Amino acid sequence: MPRLLFAVVRPFRQFFRTEAAGGILLMVASVVALLWANSRWSASYEGLLHVPITLTVGGKGLTWPLHHWINDALMSVFFLVVGLEIKRELLVGELRSLGRAILPAIAALGGMLVPAAIHFALNRGGEAQAGWGVPMATDIAFALGCLALLAGRVPSSLVVFLMALAIFDDLGAILVIALFYGGPLQTTALGVAGGLTLALAGLSWLGVTRIWPYLVLGGALWVAVLQSGIHATIAGVVLGLCIPARGSRRPTEALEDLDRAVSRLRRSAQSQDLDATGPLGALERHLEAVQPPLDRIVHGLHPWVAFGIVPIFAIANAGVAIHGDIGAMALSGASLGAALGLFLGKPLGIFGATWMAIRAGIAPRPTGASWPQILGVSMLAGIGFTMSIFVATLAFPQTPALQDASKVGIFAGSGLSMIAGLSLLAAVGRKPSPQESAEDLEIHLELPRFAEGFVVETWVAQGELVGRSLRDLDFRNRHGLSVLGLHRAQGRGLEPVSAAYVVTAGDALLLVGTQEDMTRFLALSAAPAHDQAPSPEGLPDLAG
């Protein structure tokens, strides 16, 4: 495949791998916490969580137990990354248009309302009623980790569907936490928080791309939100939504400066001048100006969150001490509400809402996905670990017994959802044929914004280039273009072609490159004939 296509796909693959590995580490951390809390060293577990830690800034200090610092401070960084991911998906990702977002949004709404209704119905009027928000959210790390085990058997469209679904789940959980799981509102602190939010939005509107002003105001916002009665982690989400998603310069604007910096670096190397600090510094400044602050922060924080903060949170919160009758705990309203909400409510809500939306013509079914596969992914969405445990700690802050019962239900519901979803997807999934893989590729021909400046064009082969192999034509070095594939007049999808493929008259080759290189090539290959050539049957209009 062309190097450019690898460059486009690589960030998504790296992100997917990080999520999958983070899910495995999260599972290990949960097992460690359970074993520790029920071992002979259980006293050390409880003692460690209650160790007081004081943070002093400007002569004023804040003393909290370690458990409190983890849930309110470290998890604010987790929610910062959540806010950044939400903004990126809404602006440049899979949720950037109504057509792309409508199906996962509807599915997520069903996947939030049905589990909450099941929990509320089981505990209405009881002391566990406040936990109705526990089974509402999906743990994306666990869910994507499970899909990684079925690589090649689940259509890529369903992976995107699950990720988008989890984004809307996170939005719903954030709203629930902000509206229903805070303390009494303090209007003065709330006003300060609102002013700081406006200041952050102003920085973004003015195009400030340095990160430190956002972090300073974000720290002050966290303190204000903490005093306002809204849970402090919401400050992380607000900060994430205010971080700019564009660099100070567009990539196309920086190309000439980058070329000059590279030329200076080459001259320095050719003259054996070891002092390359100037050219290297220029390259770094130009690249930093192009890369959005949002991407820099996500890439910097994501490994720390996936491999540090979330496992620490699991160790601090998954340690349920099982004393007395475990059966009674598992059959309590808090436990059953969480377990049934996740295991039954999630797939019922998601699959039911998805089925109705597709049948009503509101949105198309994910490409290449069968109904059993959609049901399997809906089951995997019932893995609600990190966010569910977090909501349980907020719902029952003064009732450890209800927290523990909810966690038992979360473990049971998430475990059953994982087993059922994996079993169904493994049973109905199959390795795609090469033709199906080519059709899948056709969906993603709209290049993401980090390939900005590149265009995709269809070239109908003619003239002197006909009868030569792609190796001889050497599109990359001679014209600066890459060949993504070939459209057959009677076929469907995009057919991969090798370097040995011989171009015949009328071949519809899909090319990608900069607008300048594309225009130059089309002119050299008899542009008038190309412009007038009729499109082969079934060929999508990809010009521009």
Please report the pLDDT score of residue 132 as a whole number.
95
Chain position carrying tokens 């909400």: 341
Please report the pLDDT score of residue 20 as a whole number.
59
Q: What is the pTM of this model?
A: 0.65
Question: What are the pLDDT digits (tens) for 305-317?
Answer: 888 888 898 898 8
What are the residue ranges of helices labelled H in 331-399?
Answer: 333-340, 346-359, 371-380, 386-395
What CATH number belongs to 3-53+63-182+231-247+291-428?
1.20.1530.10
Residues of the chain with CATH 1.20.1530.10: 3-53+63-182+231-247+291-428
The arithmetic mean of pLDDT across residues 513-529, rounded, is 70
The arithmetic mean of pLDDT across residues 495-500, rounded, is 71
Residues of the chain with CATH 3.30.70.1450: 453-532
DSSP letter for each residue of 61-115: EEEEEHHHHIIIIIHHHHHHHHHHHHHHHHHHSTTSSHHHHHHHHHHHHHHHHHH
Q: Which residue has the higher pLDDT, 32 or 8?
A: 32
Q: pLDDT band at 101, cuts 50/70/90?
A: confident
CB 158 within 8 A of CB 373: yes
Percent of the chain with pLDDT over 70: 74
Q: Which residue has the higher pLDDT, 89 or 135?
A: 135
Question: What are the pLDDT digits (tens) for 137-146?
Answer: 888 777 877 7
CB 258 within 8 A of CB 272: no
Cα separation, 101 vs 349, in Å, equals 17
The arithmetic mean of pLDDT across residues 336-358, rounded, is 95
Q: Which residue has the higher pLDDT, 530 or 261?
A: 261
Residue 323 structure tokens = 């004393």
Chain position carrying tokens 């490994």: 303
Residue 236 structure tokens = 């992380």
Question: What are the pLDDT digits (tens) for 247-277?
Answer: 666 655 555 565 665 666 666 655 555 455 5
Characterize the bridge pairing of strands 508-514 and 454-460.
antiparallel
Please report the pLDDT score of residue 328 as a whole number.
81
Handedness of CA 109, 114, 119, 123 (dihedral sign): positive
> Could you tell me the CA-to-CA distances from 411 to 12, 221, 235, 272 in Å, in that order?
29, 34, 28, 62
Spell out the residues 6+ positions from residue 252 whose beta carbon is closer than 8 angstroms to its own. 452, 453
Q: Which fold has domain 453-532?
A: Alpha-Beta Plaits (3.30.70)
